[in-house]
Chains A and B, each alone.
Chain A
Amino acid sequence: MDLIRIKNVEKKYKNGVTAIYDLNLAIEKGSFTFVIGGSGSGKSTLIKMLYREEKPTKGQIIVGGLDVAKLRNTKVYKLRRKLGIVFQDYRLLPKLTVYENVAFAMEVIGASKEKTRTKVLRALEEVGLKNKVHNYPDQLSGGEQQRVAIARAIVNDPKLLLCDEPTGNLDPERSMEIMKVLDNINKTRGTTIIMATHDKEIVNSMKKQVVTLKDGHLVNFKQKGTYIDENI
């Protein structure tokens, strides 16, 4: 079963730059996919289109049965509840504790206190931060902050986890920790993960399927792929 189906998608920004040309792609449920490419290759645009931050100019994107391109602004939340998103800059709320930051995602969709509590603690346990629930983000290292962000992304049990350069601000050691956490989520929860990155080490060591973009064109889609310089 394909969780994501992308058909003839083209994205042209208002300033005239075309970020994606005629992209066709299907991503299976439960898979772990890297999207790689240099800057300007369109990998961020692709991720943004998957969570409907950007709309495709042409073509069709189906995520978990929802036609993303046709989704109205007022209905975007329906898509967002099916997926979790992790960014390079963590995007935590500085005035909330670790627990509150993760619980925030449950509160705003109206979950009950008890349900929130069990789910938040479970998510924090999965990312290995159960002992830091009462800390504030600025008391944590970058890697830990990113793990809080991951916990927040998975707390609603999404089918899909989108990561836009989650290790971009971290040193190689911390990056590997994050990858372990993500791999673990992929394996134990069966969450489909799509991760945009330009980190060679990570891609080569994880041996997952790899989508390679170059100047907005899909150049390679491989199982157990590696980061090939000459293609980029």
Chain B
Amino acid sequence: MRIFRMLGRSIRDAFKSVIRNFSLSLASISCITITLIIVAIAIMASFNVQNFTKEIEKDLTIVIFLNNNVTEEDIQLVENEIKSIPNVNKKSLVFASKQQVKEEMQEESEVFDTVLDEWSNEESPLKDTFQVKVKDVEKISNIAARIERIDHVNTVRYGEGMVDKMVTAFSSIEKVTYGVVIALVIVTVFLIINTIKLTISARRREIGIMRLVGASNFTIKTPFIIEGMILGLLGSIVPVIFTTYGYLAFYKHFDGYLFTQLIQLIEPEPFIYSTAGIVVIIGILVGMVGSASAVRKYLKI
């Protein structure tokens, strides 16, 4: 009962002082708002990047072309060799003989159909192939090189180039965003410290009297901490709206894909709510950390 009365009092005092120091509160709130919008963008971007790199990684396949004159035994040998390499996804290993490749290609286009028909199996320029996926995409070039050293293997191909570049580009964008977010969070915390410091000095007399009449430190500190949390909460309103409606509009505008079919965006439905939740929690935490350190610094009690 008593704790609720005290808490009620603290919340009332906190709201009062947010309104009393309105201009500074507004400065803190806008700073939190800007920070959180960027945080929200960073969160959504990094989740999307993670999502589509995972998708791409799932599809990334090594294609192994064997020499023209291999025998059945050789093929078996190569298969065993590939399976013995660590980090290779053994289940994904598929073999396609010259004949199969030829048929596939013939199905794909009529031009191939007529051209390929003229070659018998012996004179066919096509090669027997293996396709295999790896467990860890970062090691794909190593694995490819190892496979290339196996006897009877002619060439090894995987999606080098474009995919690699895209993944590195996005991950460096991610790193820059993290840097910006951390810097902004620090600035916001300092702004909140200053806001709370002003409230504390505006209420110095009241705090002194509270001390004299036997208010516990907890009672004195709580309103300021709650004030910080309120600032954080108010600051997260705009970012939450921005996240939910902004992402929805973005998703609709691009029809779920960014630039190419390769980059698939995350479905908005549960995603925007969890992001909004994270944004609110970060806002409240930033407000709390700022005011707690202000209380520790400026309320020597």
Q: What residues make up the interface of A, taking CB atoms closer than 8 Å to B?
A: 51, 73-74, 76-78, 80-81, 85, 91, 93, 104-105, 107-110, 112, 152, 156
Contacts and interface: CB of A to CB of B under 8 A. Distances in A.
B162 interface: no
Nearest to A106: B213
B215 A109 contact: yes
6 contacts: A74-B217, A77-B216, A81-B214, A104-B209, A110-B2, A156-B214
Contact of B214 (A74, A80, A93, A112): A80
Given A108-B219, A110-B5, A93 B213 contact: no
Interface in B182-237: 205-206, 208-217, 219
Nearest to A113: B5
A74 B2 CA distance: 19
Interface residues of B, number: 20
A152 B215 CA distance: 14
B94 interface: no
B166 interface: no
List the 6 closest A-B pairs by CB distance, nearest first: A81-B214, A80-B214, A108-B215, A105-B213, A110-B2, A77-B216
B301 interface: yes
Contacts of B5: 110, 112
Given A73-B301, A80-B214, A110-B2, 5 more contacts: A93-B209, A105-B213, A108-B9, A109-B214, A110-B219
B176 interface: no
B6 interface: yes
B6 A91 contact: no
A85 B9 contact: no
* Interface residues of B, dominant DSSP: helix
B17 to A, nearest CB: 13
A157 B5 CA distance: 21
A136 to B, nearest CB: 15
A73 B300 CA distance: 10
A80 B6 contact: no
Contacts of B213: 80, 104-105, 108-109, 152, 156
Nearest to B1: A112
Contacts of B9: 107-108
Given A108-B219, A110-B2, A112-B5, A91 B209 contact: yes
A109 B212 CA distance: 11
A111 to B, nearest CB: 8
A159 B216 CA distance: 19
B212 A80 contact: yes
Contacts of B212: 51, 80, 85, 91
A87 to B, nearest CB: 9
Interface in B35-62: none
Contacts of B301: 73
A108 B208 contact: no
A77 B217 contact: yes
Nearest to B208: A91
Contacts of B2: 110
A197 B2 CA distance: 38
A95 to B, nearest CB: 9
Contacts of B217: 73-74, 77
A93 B206 contact: yes
Contacts of A51: 212
A151 to B, nearest CB: 12
B205 A93 contact: yes
A61 to B, nearest CB: 18
Given A107-B9, A110-B5, A112-B5, A91 B205 contact: yes
Given A77-B216, A77-B217, A108 B205 contact: no
A188 to B, nearest CB: 22
Given A73-B301, A107-B9, A80 B211 contact: yes
